Structure 1
Amino acid sequence: MSTAGPVGATHTAAGRLDSDKLFAARLHAARVRPYLATALFALHTVESGRVPTMAVDRYWRCYVSPAFVDRTPVEELAGVWVHEVSHLLRDHHGRGDRVARERGLSGFGDRLRMNIAADCEINDDVYGEGLVEPEGAVRPWRLKLPEGQLMEEYLSGIGPGALTVDLSWLDCGSGADGLERAWDLGPEGADGLSEQERDAVRFRVAQGIRARPGDTPQGWRRWAEEAFHPPQPWRDLLGAALRSAVAGSGAGDDYSYGRPSRRSAGVPGTVLPSLRRRPPRVCVIIDTSGSVSDAELGSALLEVAAISRAVGGRRDLVSVLSCDAAAGVVRPLCRAEGIPLVGGGGTDLRTGFEKALRSRPRPDVVVALTDGQTPWPGAQPSCRTVVGLFSRPQRFRARSENNPEYVPDGPPAWARVVEI
């Protein structure tokens, strides 16, 4: 017995996958969402009667129910293709695993909630403009949730109840929530993508989105930006950069007669000093120009407290200098919340570096916390330098009000730079 499909689809025997219809739907999806074409054609299909509709695993295999393909129009199948590949591109399996560890979630019920939350995140960007939304598709408004949130945010508002009881059939596979299914072929199965291949697909898709940002939904533009500039644990990076600077050779090294050098024995009648290591001194320059927000200044003060911990809690070894177009007073650190931050004008951290290096005792490390809209010293300072940059989408396109031709340079090569 055969089942009639839409115009252009082939007729297949019951129980057999109609590959022509399935791949015609993928071609339609690639035509209406060209920026996703690389990902769509990277999926390897696996026929399976155990999946309710279509499902994916983390290795970019797409498991397809022949009965579902047979009863679903091509236009709706195209939307399902885009839906499933969206789970993989947005790493819902990896994010689901992290959320499960952080929140102590386990079992199928919790993973079903993750699947629902992931569907809420992506369905805003899937349907419309050539892709038909199937009846009953999971949308945030159906669950009385706001639009435009991420899976982790939706998960907090989704629980057992009348609004989710009708979604118990939902199963987009381990690629949507991280929980392996009985039908998964696993890492050793055929036709799975390696981690490097998956990353390459994501990169190509992100390139396509950034090339035509006006044609893509906001959710995909946000994803592409993060794919090129993934969020980093900047607090850890800043701490590591500081520890590396203070632990380097020469930082905190000085000669002392408190313990004579062992080489004195080779020079009778002469006492030679020994090279002793002392805790390093750190001077923190905080950019207080008008382009730095109050929130960023508050973050800078938190970093000052963290810097004092990085040098063993010795606040007497940490000094703070506020600077806009002119440098303020170098103040020893008593407590972070007591530091006066004076400024609000233009920016020229060169004056801050000059005053910091002239301060006594001389610092071993200079840390500059800034938005980067400043000229930099022309020569490398005589001590190690760490630059913490507040995030700016258009950081190096700013112009000086007094000199429209001026474009601030990026941080110099001799500085260790950490994006905040």
Structure 2
Amino acid sequence: MTEDALEALDLDKLFAARLHAARARPYLATALFALHTVASRQVPTMAVDRHWRCYVSPSFVDRMPVEELAGVWVHEVSHLLRDHHGRSDRVARERGLTGPGDRLRMNIAADCEINDDAFGEGLVRPEGAVEPGSLGLSAGELMEDYLRQFRLGVHTQDLAWLDCGSGADGLDREWEVGPDGAYGLSAQERDAVRFRVAQGITARPGNTPQQWKRWAEEAFHPPQPWRELLGAAVRSATGSGTGEDYTYGRPSRRSAGLPGVVLPSLRRRPPRVCVVIDTSGSVSDAELGSALLEVAAISRAVGGRRDLITVLPCDAAARIVHPLCRGEGIPLMGGGGTDLRTGFAKALRTGAPPDVIVVLTDGQTRWPASPPPCRTVVGLFPRPNRYRPQDEDDPDYAPDSPPAWARVVTIG
């Protein structure tokens, strides 16, 4: 940052916009004031790096009204709170995405995740803000989902200027200060900011958008060892080679030895997962809420492919199989007795057969007599005793333990 750039930047106007943003979204105030401002003539508008520096174009500040600048402040800090840089890095590794074009798509997809509910209620939509509807996409989805639904082309050519920095897509820029520069936040300081924001949202949710409420719940949700077990089970479900097929989308490296011949490469198909959730009367509302958070974790375990995950509520009877879209959109109906055998049967005969069945239950149920033709993981809600209320008069009754063919781990 040069002295000329610093002098040209209207800090009074920029900080007035930040104050406006904090008043409109008080739960984001801690994060907004944690950003360190860096004037830069190389940034088209405003951008953030993964170390919580906010790069600002002086000419952009000059031409934007304070009300719209406030919306840009909220937009940029949302990239950091939602870990778009870390998520973009993971997606790039998993899907083999390289180059600036792929990172631009990630930036656009991340913007769609933020902007579908960011404005209104005291915040003006900034000029040029990308929303899912402008690309023919549905609102309420995640960056990873949007990334699959569009390609760069005529409908995105007006977005070539878009650059929210490495904080949005994980790709370092030459104009960023870098990890060793001044005023960056340490990993512990970044975690503390996220915790304060999540704490503010859960303490006084008010009119907070649903996506921010879900983010706060996941931020407070303690890591579960069973998630690592699930990841191992999902990998082993497709590790035998049965889930692979040939594709010309990524030619084989052996093609180099055969000039003029293009050989296909083997590509592993991501696994299909069916999550059976026990909705019987013995499972509490808090546990059902935890189950929905676990479903979100399962989505991440399969690389964000929510189109390959279905959710099946089940008590004494299996109900409707729901494709995973938004967690709060899955109706967990039930309340009667428990017989998860019907859930297994429904999961196996609905649509394409799953590679993994994940069962979230308190264990007070009967189990299938024989293993299903796929991997099974059981997430078990803990119980001080494992007797069903309706069988209290029979001291010799206890529900079946999960079968030996299922991998079992206690949730919580």
2:247 aligned residue? none
Corresponding position: 1:236 with 2:214: no
- Tell me how far apart the structure 1 counterparts of residues 11 and 103 of structure 2 sit (CA, whole Å): 30
Once the two structures are superposed, what CA deviation does each residue of 1:143-178 show, in whole Å capped at 9, x if it has no partner?
000010000000111212111000000000000000
Moved more, 37-46 or 157-166: 157-166
Are the counterparts in 2 of residues 29 and 82 from structure 1 also a CA contact under 8 Å?
yes
Per-residue deviation at 1:213? 1.7
Once the two structures are superposed, what CA deviation does each residue of 1:106-127 show, in whole Å capped at 9, x if it has no partner?
1111000000000000012321
Per-residue deviation at 1:401? 8.9
Per-residue deviation at 1:184? 1.0
1:122 aligned residue? 114
Letter in structure 1 aligned against 2:121 = E
Pick closer, same or farther for the CA change 1:170–1:336 going to 2, 3 Å: same
Letter in structure 1 aligned against 2:385 = W
- Tell me how far apart the structure 1 counterparts of residues 214 and 186 of structure 2 sit (CA, whole Å): 25
Q: TM-score, normalised by structure 2?
A: 0.60
Per-residue deviation at 1:135? 2.6
Pick closer, same or farther for the CA change 1:192–1:298 going to 2, 3 Å: farther
2:26 aligned residue? 34
Are the counterparts in 1 of residues 44 and 161 from structure 2 also a CA contact under 8 Å?
yes
Pick closer, same or farther for the CA change 1:287–1:52 going to 2, 3 Å: closer
Match of 1:109 among 91, 97, 101: 101
Letter in structure 1 aligned against 2:19 = L
Corresponding position: 1:171 with 2:171: no
Question: Could you say what secondary structure the match of 2:67 adopts?
Answer: helix
2:17 aligned residue? 25
Are the counterparts in 2 of residues 287 and 370 from structure 1 also a CA contact under 8 Å?
no
Are the counterparts in 1 of residues 5 and 40 from structure 2 also a CA contact under 8 Å?
no
2:212 aligned residue? 220
Question: Could you say what secondary structure the match of 1:45 adopts?
Answer: strand
Are the counterparts in 2 of residues 287 and 368 from structure 1 also a CA contact under 8 Å?
no
Question: Could you say what secondary structure the match of 2:47 adopts?
Answer: strand
Instruction: Give the structure with higher Rg (CA).
Output: 1
Per-residue deviation at 1:375? 4.9
- Tell me how far apart the structure 1 counterparts of residues 120 and 64 of structure 2 sit (CA, whole Å): 17
Letter in structure 2 aligned against 1:198 = R
Per-residue deviation at 1:231? 6.7
Match of 2:55 among 63, 82, 90: 63
The alignment yields a C-alpha RMSD, in angstroms, of 3.9
Per-residue deviation at 1:336? 3.9
1:254 aligned residue? none
**Structure 1 residue ranges, 4+ long, deviating more than 6 angstroms after superposition:** 12-15, 328-331, 399-403
- Tell me how far apart the structure 1 counterparts of residues 24 and 222 of structure 2 sit (CA, whole Å): 27
Question: Could you say what secondary structure the match of 1:68 adopts?
Answer: helix
- Tell me how far apart the structure 2 counterparts of residues 110 and 207 of structure 1 sit (CA, whole Å): 34
Once the two structures are superposed, what CA deviation does each residue of 1:330-352 show, in whole Å capped at 9, x if it has no partner?
97xx64469xxxxxxxxxxxxxx
Letter in structure 1 aligned against 2:105 = R
Are the counterparts in 2 of residues 209 and 224 from structure 1 also a CA contact under 8 Å?
yes
- Tell me how far apart the structure 2 counterparts of residues 239 and 104 of structure 1 sit (CA, whole Å): 20
Question: Could you say what secondary structure the match of 1:125 adopts?
Answer: coil
Are the counterparts in 2 of residues 43 and 61 from structure 1 also a CA contact under 8 Å?
yes
Letter in structure 2 aligned against 1:96 = S
Pick closer, same or farther for the CA change 1:168–1:402 going to 2, 3 Å: same
Corresponding position: 1:155 with 2:180: no
Corresponding position: 1:80 with 2:72: yes
**Could you list the runs of 5+ residues in structure 1 that have no partner in the other structure?**
1-11, 241-285, 307-321, 339-366, 379-398, 404-415
Q: TM-score, normalised by structure 1?
A: 0.59
1:267 aligned residue? none
Question: Could you say what secondary structure the match of 2:206 adopts?
Answer: helix
Spell out the pairing of 1:298-309 with structure 2 (5 A cutoff). 298=344
2:385 aligned residue? 376
Are the counterparts in 1 of residues 6 and 39 from structure 2 also a CA contact under 8 Å?
no
Identity of matched residues, %: 69
- Tell me how far apart the structure 2 counterparts of residues 330 and 217 of structure 1 sit (CA, whole Å): 41
- Tell me how far apart the structure 2 counterparts of residues 209 and 200 of structure 1 sit (CA, whole Å): 14
- Tell me how far apart the structure 1 counterparts of residues 5 and 47 of structure 2 sit (CA, whole Å): 23
- Tell me how far apart the structure 1 counterparts of residues 42 and 5 of structure 2 sit (CA, whole Å): 18
- Tell me how far apart the structure 2 counterparts of residues 155 and 369 of structure 1 sit (CA, whole Å): 30
- Tell me how far apart the structure 1 counterparts of residues 13 and 122 of structure 2 sit (CA, whole Å): 17
Spell out the pairing of 1:299-378 with structure 2 (5 A cutoff). 323-324=364-365, 335-336=371-372, 370-372=380-382, 375-376=384-385
**Could you list the runs of 5+ residues in structure 2 that have no partner in the other structure?**
233-276, 284-312, 322-339, 349-354, 357-362, 393-407
Moved more, 45-54 or 286-295: 286-295
Per-residue deviation at 1:400? 6.8
Match of 1:145 among 137, 151, 158: 137
Corresponding position: 1:92 with 2:96: no
Corresponding position: 1:132 with 2:128: no
Pick closer, same or farther for the CA change 1:89–1:230 going to 2, 3 Å: farther
Per-residue deviation at 1:45? 0.5
